[in-house]
Structures are given as C-alpha cells and as structure tokens.
Structure 1
Amino acid sequence: MIESVRPNNNRRAGVDELVACLRASGETTRIRLLALLKEGELTVKDVTSILGQSQPRISRHLKLLSEAGIIQRYPEGAWVYYRLGDSGSAAVARTILSHADPDDPVLAADRERLEALRRAKAEEAAAYFASRADSWDQERNLHVPDAAVEAAMRRAVGSKPFDSFLDLGTGTGRLLDLFQDQYSRGIGIDASQSMLSVARANLAKAGVNNAQVRQGDIYALPIPPRSTDVAVIHQVLHYLEEPSRAITEAARTLRPGGRLLLVDFAPHDLEFLREKHAHRRLGFSHEQVARWLDDANLDLVKQQDLCPEEGKSEQLTVTLWLAQDRRIATDLPVADPTQELA
C-alpha cells in the first residue's frame, strides 16, 4: 500500500484547525475518501470508479478536504493526484481513521474496489515495461550487473538512517524501493507520466509506504531548498543536454551537509547509444564531474569505478560520485520536502 509519506507524529492542530478538520471530515463520503487516500494517492477518476459517484460531487468533496488542509493535491499533466497530507489537520484525520472498523461493509467494499483498480494499473504498467524491455535489457547488458551497482550505491550512502530521500529520474521507482529501509520519507521525480505509472505500481507491489512520486522537470524541481538529506541521480545524466545544470538544481535541494550520489557511465565510444537510445553524452570523466560538483558548492568525498568483469572488455565502466554540501549544519529550520515550491 502506498501512503505518500510516513506521518509526522509531532504535528499538532490548533483549536481552529481542529474545528475545520472535524467539520470537513464529518460526512460519509468524505470519511470514505479519507480512508482511501490513507492507502495511497488517487485521482478524481480513480475515486469516482471506486465510490460510484459523479465527478462533480467527488471534486466538491475533495475541494472541501483540501481547503481544510487535510489532503494535498499534485497536478501531473492533465491529471491531479490527491493524497492525505502531513499537516496537523491530516494527523487528526489519521486519528479518526484509526478508530474506524476495518470490517465495516462500506469501507471493506471500497478497499476491494481499490485493490481491483490497483491490479488493473499494475497490469497496464507491466505491459508498458514489457514493450520497452528489449531496449532496456540491451542497455543493462552493456555494464556490470545492476545488483553490483546497487550494492555499491548502498555502500556509498552507508547504513545510517536519514530523513529525506530524493530520486531524480526515478523511472520504475527502483531506488525508492532499494533505500526505503533507510529514509523516513522519499520522493521520486520523473518527467514521464508513463514511467510514473510504472513506479506507482511497483511501489504498491513492493509495499513501500513511505514514498511518493511526482512529475517534474529535473532542471526546475518542485522541491524546496534545504529539504533533502540524500539525493540520487542514477543513469540519467547521459540523457541530458545540460548535466551540470541538473547537478546544480539537485544541490539546491540539499540540507547543509546533505549528500548527492551520481551514477553514470565513464567515457566511452559507443555511438549507437546516441542513435538508438537517445543518449546525449557518451559518459563522463572524473575531472568533468568533479568540476561540476565544485561549481555547485559540493565537495567530492568519494568516487568509484565499477569496471567490466574479466573477459567482458566490451562492457562499459560505471562510475559513482558521492558529494556533500559544504555548508555546516546549523539549528536553522529546514524545509519539508513533501511541500512543493510556490
């Protein structure tokens, strides 16, 4: 089950906020809506199919809950996704829902329809992934196994838990799953709605309940500054016209002392990757990336080359660069990464 972020138990609501929350929540359809959104983010179309009510009626209920600060809305192209928020009002709503009988016939039927909807979306995502599997498999065969790369990434980040994780170019959501045991709340950003559908299905299947995915531009992230502990750009830079600009934008989101992990190819001469796989850059040198990191006010603390296995000289080298924000952490307040920029 996907719940956008792990609830913050320290959030409290004032008297006015409590009253607004209770007024907004005190209606049968809205309780059903909140119970659904507690399980994961949904669109108006999703909710209408589950509750069997008209789009205007559902939109009105969502508007009232949004105005009360209980739920949040995230536009994504022509769609808008709704989720239970992380405000004091949302905390009150979660408390109310914790007292709901899970065997209540109405809520149980809603959950069954939600699961049926998720299964249908998972099948669509699987079909999308399968249609591109040959291309992706060809690229994966060009370098050391994914398992080796992921193990190196885990070693680079270390085993200590941290609060916020940002995956840029999240694709299938794999890294949100890989690191989900270390972060409290994760966000994946991708420009492709189709890939976000795949990611949502994968996260739901894996039971990752402390992450959300959002559509966004890697050059203009919908993430506030000073809000991220660990950011990762994994096998994305070679698709970009301006990799250095993406690095600078990622650095903007880091808290003082926050870390950025880059993973990409070392320089190579496989021109067919430009022609058939839309690669803009044929790898990156240590010096080039170090310069970009320095320009972004980040200190390079580690770099590692994952070279081809013996007897597989035709494979590419994958390089990891771990950098750290050079500002010293202070007691100044930092932003919540789940809140979008105005």
Structure 2
Amino acid sequence: MSLAFFKALSDETRLRLVHILRHYELSVNELVRILDMGQSRVSRHLKILTEAGLLTSRRDGLWVFYAASPAGTAHDFLQAIAPFMPADAAMRADMDVAAHILEERARKTRQFFNAIAEDWDELNHEVLGDFDLPAQVAAAVPPHCRMAVDLGCGTGAVLARLLPRAGGVIGVDGSARMLDICRRRLDGENVPEQRYSLRIGELDHLPLRDHEADFACINLVLHHLSDPAAALGEAHRILAAGGRLLVTDFLRHHDETMRSRYGDRWLGFAPDSLTAYLEQAGFVLVDSRQCAVGRGLHLLLLTAEARAPRTP
C-alpha cells in the first residue's frame, strides 16, 4: 500500500495537488485555474492520485469535486508525511489562488442574493409549493427557549414565526439586501426591536458568542455553501449544550437548473452525508424526515442535539 502511495506522489504536480486538496475541496476547473495547466493534464494526475486512494472524488450533477482522503490508511499516510512536505513558492502561490477562488465564490453568492432578494419569497414558493416550512421550524423549537437563531434568515419568513416560541430571536445572513427586507417584515408586524437582532455575517464565521442560543435552524442554506461542514461546526459552537438544531435541505437530486435559477452550489445531499457532517460537528441525530415539495424535489429535515464540547 505504501509503495502505491509513494509512486503516486513521485511527481511535482501531484504533490501540489495533494497539498491543495488537503485544505480545500475543489472542482477540476478550479484546479486547472490554480495550476495554470491544461484540463487533460490535470485530470490525468487526479486520476492517478484517486486510483491510489489518496484523493476522493464527488460528482454533483455535471460537476466533479476532489479532496484529500478524509479517513483511513491514505489519510493517515498524508498526515504522517505532511511535516516532510514543506510548502515551496509554487505551493504557496497555489494556496493563494485557492483562497482567492473561495473568496470569489462567497462574493458571487452575496451578489446573487442581493440581486434576487425582492423576489426570494416567490422563488421559494416555486420550490416549496404548499409546504409550510416556517411552521415546521417553529414546531421544532424546544420549550422554554431563551434564544432562537435562524442561520441564513433571508427575508425573515421563518424568523417571524420563531418569535412566539422564544424569548428572543437572532437572524444571520450574508446579504445586506435580504436583511433589509427582513427588518421591514418585522417592523411591519410591529415586533419590538428588543425582541430581535439582525446580524450580517458568513455562516462559517458566525457573529454570535459561544453557547448564545438554545435553538438554531439552517433552512435551504447548506446547498449554497462551499463548506457545509464548517457551517455546522459553527452552529454547534453557538448552541448551549443540549441545544437543538434543525437542518432543512434538499435530498440529493439532478436538477441542474437549480444552480442558475437559485444559486445552488450542491444539488442536495444524501441523508448519510448530512448525518456524518452533524456528527463530525458534535451533534447527535434525534430525528430525520423526508417531505416531497415542488419541482419533483424532496426535503430532508434533520433534528440534532448539541453535545457538550470535550474538555482538553
């Protein structure tokens, strides 16, 4: 096994690929851009590394993403040799371009949601049909909830329904335009300002204190993110021990039009993938359901409980 690993790494380009993909999950086109090489050349090196078991590939509709093996012998091997792979000038440049690509992804997502904010409720209805998502979320709030948080609150439809179930609510979104509409909604319903707080921020670096909330929800948001696992890790950080999280997102599908019309990055998730993300973040799965909605899509609704963080 180790001989196959060493053979796969016996090339400068493949070393560069492994170095990048130990830090990020990236598509073939993004890797072509980073390495400034032809696609056929990059694909050949990716195939060698994948066949050796050092990389994993994930197909999402028409896109294929690569990352370093997250577990097992290959993962352990890469961890062991990492100290002997100091980043040279080329590798440092690779990482700079990769970081720029991720920043570009986030910027495009913000621009997209700012542009369609006024139409977002109508677009949501096209997908959800008669499914009352805000009611489902409100029903998941535990009794005596001190603070409820909507992560990716959008125009505030869910946030408004959380108010009767919690002492206070916090809405977080990366789009300033969405938050403007959310504030107008709450002001229109004469909600006292002391009952809610709207905060702009990214879901992988939330503008909330540790353990600030008893309940959090993240609805139809993970499929827009580059790193859903990071967002769930942040959700765990801001929840009190024993706090509840409701994740609502699409079951894995193949509708490519969701990328252009709704800005989706992931075409849904397999239930075991989301469960694995939750467990990795420190949650225990409590309940899992599926519901049919519009456009031939299905929703996953996962309820999880935050375990207390491990002491060092």
The Cα of 1:130 is off from its aligned counterpart by: 8.7
Q: What amino acid maps onto 1:215 in structure 2?
A: I
Match of 1:155, as an amino acid? Answer: A
Contact 2:134 2:157 in 1 (8 A): no
1:203 equivalenced with 2:171 (yes/no): no
Q: Residue type of the partner of 2:303? A: L
Pick one of 316, 319, 322 that aligns with 2:297. Answer: 316
CA–CA separation in structure 2 for the residues paired with 1:131 and 1:191: 12
Deviation at 1:173, TM superposition (A): 1.5
Match in the other structure for 1:185: 168
Q: Quick check: 2:141–2:165 contact (8 Å CA) kept in 1? A: no
Task: Quote how far apart the aligned CAs of 1:152 are.
Answer: 2.5
Q: TM-score, normalised by structure 2?
A: 0.58
CA positional deviation for 1:232: 0.7
- Are 1:157 and 2:133 matched, yes or no? no
Root-mean-square deviation over aligned CA pairs: 2.2
Q: How many Å apart are 1:151 and its aligned residue?
A: 2.8
Deviations 1:172-196 (A, max 9, x none): 1122210101111111111111111
Aligned letter for 2:139?
R
TM-score by length of 1: 0.53
In the alignment, is the contact (CA less than 8 A) between 1:143 and 1:317 conserved in 2? no
* 8 A Cα contact 2:138 2:165, kept in partner: no
Q: Pick the aligned partner of 1:231 from 216, 231, 242.
A: 216
SS at match of 2:164: coil
- Residue of 265, 286, 293 corresponding to 1:280: 265
Q: How far apart, in 2, do the equivalents of 1:318 and 1:175 lie?
A: 16
Question: Residue 155 of structure 1: CA displacement?
Answer: 3.0
Q: Do the aligned partners of residues 129 and 206 (structure 1) sit closer, same or farther apart at CA in structure 2, a change above 3 Å counting?
A: farther
User: C-alpha distance in 1, partners of 2:263/2:116?
Assistant: 19
Q: Quick one: distance in 1 between partners of 2:117 and 2:225?
A: 23
Secondary structure class of the residue paired with 2:229: helix
Q: Distance in 2 between matches of 1:237 and 1:189?
A: 14
Q: Find 1:249's aligned residue among 234, 239, 260.
A: 234
CA contact (8 A) 1:171 1:199 kept: yes
The one-character-per-residue Cα deviations of 1:195-231 (angstroms, maximum 9, x if unpaired) are 1111111111112221110111111111111111001
Cα distance in 2, alignment partners of residues 324 and 256 from structure 1: 8
Residue-by-residue CA offset, 1:40-75 (whole Å, 9 max, x unaligned): xxxxxxxxxxxxxxxxxxxxxxxxxxxxxxxxxxxx
User: What is the DSSP-based 3-state SS (H/G/I as helix, E as strand, rest coil) of the residue aligned with 1:197?
Assistant: helix
Q: Structure 1 297/229 Cα, relative in aligned 2: closer, same or farther at 3 Å? A: same
- Residue type of the partner of 1:150? P
Q: Using the alignment, how far apart are the partners of 2:270 and 2:180 within structure 1?
A: 34
Whether 2:181 is the aligned partner of 1:173: answer: no
Q: Contact 2:290–2:301 (CA<8 Å) still a contact in 1? A: yes
Residue 132 of structure 1 and its aligned partner are, at CA, apart by 4.1
Q: Which one has the bigger helix percentage?
A: 2
* Aligned partner of residue 141 in structure 1, secondary structure: helix
Shift of 1:138: 4.2
Decide which of 290, 294, 300 is 1:305's aligned counterpart.
290
Structure 2 residue ranges without an equivalent (≥5): 1-113
In structure 1, distance between residues paired with 2:243 and 2:283: 9
> Does the 8 Å CA contact 2:289/2:301 hold for their aligned counterparts?
yes
Aligned pairs, number: 194
CA–CA distance in structure 2, aligned partners of residues 327 and 274 of structure 1: 37
CA contact (8 A) 2:137 2:158 kept: no
Cα–Cα, structure 1 residues 239 and 131, in superposed 2: closer, same or farther, change >3 Å? closer
Alignment of 1:84-163 (within 5 A): 132-133=118-119, 137-147=122-132, 149-158=133-142, 160-163=143-146
**How has the CA–CA distance of structure 1 residues 200 and 139 changed in structure 2, closer, same or farther, with 3 Å as cutoff?**
closer
Deviation at residue 156 of structure 1 after TM alignment: 2.9
Query: Which AA in structure 2 matches 1:178?
Result: R
Task: Return the offset for 1:275.
Answer: 2.5
TM-superposition CA deviations, 1:143-190 (whole Å, max 9, x none): 34242x2333233335x2310111111111122210101111111111
Identity %: 30
Relative contact order, higher structure (CA 8 A, sep 6+): 1
In 1, the alpha carbon distance for the partners of 2:221 and 2:116 equals 21
Evaluate the alpha carbon distance shift between residue 301 and residue 216 of structure 1 in structure 2; reply closer, same or farther with a 3 A threshold.
Answer: same
